[in-house]
Structure 1
Amino acid sequence: MNLTEALKPDLIKIPLTGKGKTGVITELLEWLSQHHSLEDSQKVLAQILEREEIMTTGVGNGVAIPHCKTNTVTDFVIALGIHPGGVAFKSLDGKPAHIIFMLVGPDSQPGAHIRLLSRISRIISDNATREAILSCDSPEEIYKLLAEKERLLLEVIS
């Protein structure tokens, strides 16, 4: 599965306004629930927060990727939010997260879950890409940027 198959423009929220890590995760999950059929969002929230307790998903460089595997979905879905002020995610570099991807995947596909996390990480590892995402004015613009970055990545790895 590709990033741009699981993430659609209507699942991108600009701006996020939640306070703190739990507030932003809750806000993104509510956004996801409004724009995608998601059963038992409270269970998914509990699973994501439980995952955060194990180890932070604040990967650094202004990015966090909260995620979980669950039996409440049959396919992968990704939401993305931009928080202008940044949110403390206990990131590895101690900096606030401004770009927050949320990945929810079926617990029956752990390998694909890891591959999607890896794909997101590779795409956003480039500083210019992160800056470009933050300078976008619309969800559609972010989606097009990510689609192009993913296309280029797939050319390199194939």
Structure 2
Amino acid sequence: MRITDILTINNIKIPLLASRREEAIKELIGLLENKVEDVKQAYEAVLEREKIMTTGVGNQIAIPHCKHHSCPDFTIALGISEKGIDFSSIDNNDVRLVFLLLGPENNPGKHIKLLSRISRLMTDNAFRERLLKAEDRKQVHDLLIEQEAGFADIE
């Protein structure tokens, strides 16, 4: 499995219109309605996870996520904000790239591997800049495919 197998073009929001963390999560989870059995419960679960510790990991990136019974399989949405959103990031900077990862409760290992893959992809400063400058969803998706080509499949 690759990130781009579950992060489809239709799951990319550019620009992300939200100005607050909760709005951003709601906007992105709305893209996943057909992949989540109970959107409201999944949304609440993501917010609960955010209360434990911020998912604003720095470098203008947030990866809100949760494992929940209403998610039969893994799915990812990505939003790109033009202005930035306060995610209480560890570097105190606003977030412009928001990856929302939802997955089933029964596969924590794969959940961690997907989080790790997103993090590894985002360590490349030049790649992040290309994503932020992308003009449409297809360009974002193509950039992700190209960047992930050098990685092995996630088991």
TM bracket (short chain): over 0.9
Any runs of at least 4 consecutive aligned residues in structure 1 with deviations exceeding 3 A, and if so which?
A: none
Q: Determine whether 1:18 maps to 2:54.
A: no
1:47 aligned partner, one-letter code: A
Tell me how far 1:153 sits from its aligned partner: 2.9
Gaps of at least 5 residues in structure 2 are none
Preserved contact between residue 11 and residue 76 of structure 2 (Cα < 8 Å): yes
TM-score, normalised by the number of residues in structure 1: 0.93
Preserved contact between residue 32 and residue 77 of structure 2 (Cα < 8 Å): yes
Alpha-carbon distance in 2 for matches of 1:53, 1:73: 20
1:79 aligned partner, one-letter code: A
2:38 to 40, 51, 56: 40
Alpha-carbon distance in 2 for matches of 1:154, 1:37: 25
Gaps of at least 5 residues in structure 1 are none
Q: For residue 143 of structure 2, what is the aligned residue in structure 1?
A: 145
TM-score, normalised by the number of residues in structure 2: 0.95
2:7 aligned partner, one-letter code: L
User: Matches of residues 98-117 of structure 1 in structure 2 within 5 Å?
Assistant: 98-117=96-115
Q: Secondary structure at the match of 2:97?
A: strand
Preserved contact between residue 35 and residue 75 of structure 2 (Cα < 8 Å): no
Preserved contact between residue 3 and residue 120 of structure 1 (Cα < 8 Å): yes
Residues paired across the two proteins, number: 153
Amino-acid identity (%): 44
Q: For residue 27 of structure 1, what is the aligned residue in structure 2?
A: 27
Q: Select the structure that is richer in helix.
A: 1
RMSD: 1.2
Q: Secondary structure at the match of 1:145?
A: helix
1:56 to 44, 54, 57: 54
Preserved contact between residue 57 and residue 66 of structure 1 (Cα < 8 Å): yes
